[in-house]
Amino acid sequence: MRDMTLLLMLVALGWISFIRPWVGLLALIFVGVLHPQGYATGFMQGFPAYLALFFVVVLAASWQFFRQRAWPFLFWDWRMAGLALLWVQFILTTILGLNPWAGWPRLMEVTKILPLVLMVLLLIDARTKLNWLLLTVTLSLAVVMLKGGYWAFITGFHDRVYGPPGSQYADNNEFAVATAMAIPLLALWYRETESKALRWIAAILIALGFASALSSWSRGGLLSIGMVALLLVWHSRRKWLAIPLLLGGGGLAFMGLSDKWFARMQTIATPELEGSAATRLELWRLGWDYALQHPWTGGGFSSWIYLTLPVGGSRAWHSAYIELAVEHGFPGLVLWGSLVLGSAVSLTLLIARNRRWHLPGLTDQAAMLRASLAAYMVGAAFLSIAYWELLFLLLASAILMSRFAKAERVNRMG
């Protein structure tokens, strides 16, 4: 039954894609973020749902452009040059890498992000469409947050919450950071909708999101939602109400957490006292030393297979920053960091400029997107999530937000 439902859903989404390619792009993002095929148990297990829908959207968009005899407009932004240079560095470090047999397949896997980013930049050509894109990302994650938050409450926060099987955030730690990134986007939905019923739904989903992140037992996730909570209060129009609600809700949640949970979180301050945290520190030391010895090209993709042998081998560097420095040298780290941090700065400038421009909704959108990126940057310090598709979707959204804000300002000036 579950597999048949998934098949019918994909057929329906494919049909919609041919009618409205940009809506098909939203459907593609929905499948990519929610990863529904991970819940299949029968004939749809392992089915390339994302790839199949991707080709449908590409064909539909190509036919639309051909039929209208209009080439798509690609807005230029400095981050496009940054992306191009970053991928040149990826190719260079893969050629010179320690582990080419695993590095090249990994490069191909990471490069799959670029077509999606390109389609977002081409098909999302209006601010209303950008609003729908952000809402699609939000609700895709909210579906899993709803399940995770419900599970957290019925188990009394004693059982860990995980993401969609087979997705980039299937693990509890990654899912906690993804949840923290989704909460500001839910807050944006709460602010923009005028329906009281939808506001209640958004508020409940935000509460369940915090519960999901807490019940993931993730230390990086805890720091991420802490950052989100601070930024939500900072941008709240009713701080006198937001602060008591946050403190009260947090107090109720912490009352239900076990002593083991608190013992695990306390290792954030004293990592040397806990086994996995101490191993992480040793991995960071190894990685940083290697990056200093090979500052220009690093070791390439999947070089951890050899470099972590002194500590018994590991699946990851447990830090996106160390991961970039080790695999692609400091040029790779600087290019990647400029995209992420630069986008946060760009959004901050939009907020400041909108005090003069007075474009409706822009301040809230930029602030919540920046909060989502801030949650990512905090979580990335503890997880190997440098190549997340979700991150690049937010970066593309930041590019589009700048584009539409400038266009609206020009139109207002006449």
Question: Tell me: the pLDDT tens digits for 274-287?
Answer: 556 678 888 999 99
Q: Which residues contact 310 (CB under 8 A, 6 or more apart)?
A: 286
Residues 197 and 316 in one domain: no
Number of domains in the chain: 3
Same domain, 102 and 64: no
Task: Look at residue 357 and tell me if it is in a domain.
Answer: yes
Which residues form the domain of 197? Answer: 141-266
Is 115 a domain residue?
yes
Q: What pTM was computed for the model?
A: 0.93
For the chain, list residues with pLDDT below 50. Answer: none
Structure confidence at residue 22 (pLDDT): 95
Residue type, 9: M
Asked if residue 243 and residue 300 are part of one domain, the reply reads no
Helix (H, G, I), strand (E, B) or coil at 23: helix
User: Are residues 67 and 82 both part of a single domain?
Assistant: no
pLDDT for residue 306 = 85
Quote the CA–CA distance of 73 and 193 in Å, as a whole number. Answer: 30
The predicted pLDDT at position 176 comes to 94
Last residue of a domain, one of 199, 233, 266: 266
**189 and 212 fall within a common domain:** yes
Q: Are residues 206 and 292 in the same domain?
A: no
Residue 314 structure tokens: 């590991």
Within-domain flag for 136: no
**The predicted structure's pLDDT at residue 335:** 98
Residues 284 and 255 in one domain: no
Cα separation, 406 vs 400, in Å, equals 10
Task: Please tell me the distance from the alpha carbon of residue 242 to that of residue 254, in angstroms, as a whole number.
Answer: 18
Q: How many residues does the chain have?
A: 414
DSSP 174-216: HHHHHHHHHHHHHHHHHHH---HHHHHHHHHHHHHHHHHHHTT
322/291 Cα distance (integer angstroms): 8
Using alpha carbons, select from 206, 220, 210, 204 the residue that is nearest to residue 172.
220
Domain for residue 318, yes or no? yes
What integer pLDDT is reported at residue 159 of this predicted model? 78
* Residue found by looking up tokens 């909704």 in the block: 361
3-state helix, strand, coil in the chain (%, to 5): 75, 0, 25
167 and 84, same structural domain? no
pLDDT at residue 175 in the model: 93
Q: Are residues 302 and 368 in the same domain?
A: yes
**Is residue 148, in this structure, part of any structural domain at all?**
yes
Q: CA-to-CA distance for 350 and 401, rounded, in angstroms?
A: 9
Please list, in sequence order, all residues whose beta carbon lies within 8 angstroms of the beta carbon of residue 41, skipping any fewer than 6 positions away.
2, 3
Q: Return the pLDDT at 161.
A: 85
- Residue 132 belongs to some domain of the structure: no
| One domain, residues 188 and 152 | yes
> 242, 266, 290 — which closes off a domain?
266
CB within 8 Å of 176: residues ≥ 6 apart = 161, 212, 213, 216, 218, 220, 221, 222, 224, 225, 379
What pLDDT is recorded for position 36? 85
**pLDDT reported for residue 153:** 81
In-domain check, residue 45: yes
d(CA 78, CA 334): 14
Q: Domain check: are 381 and 259 in the same one?
A: no
According to the model, what pLDDT value does residue 160 have? 84
Residue 382 lies in a domain: yes
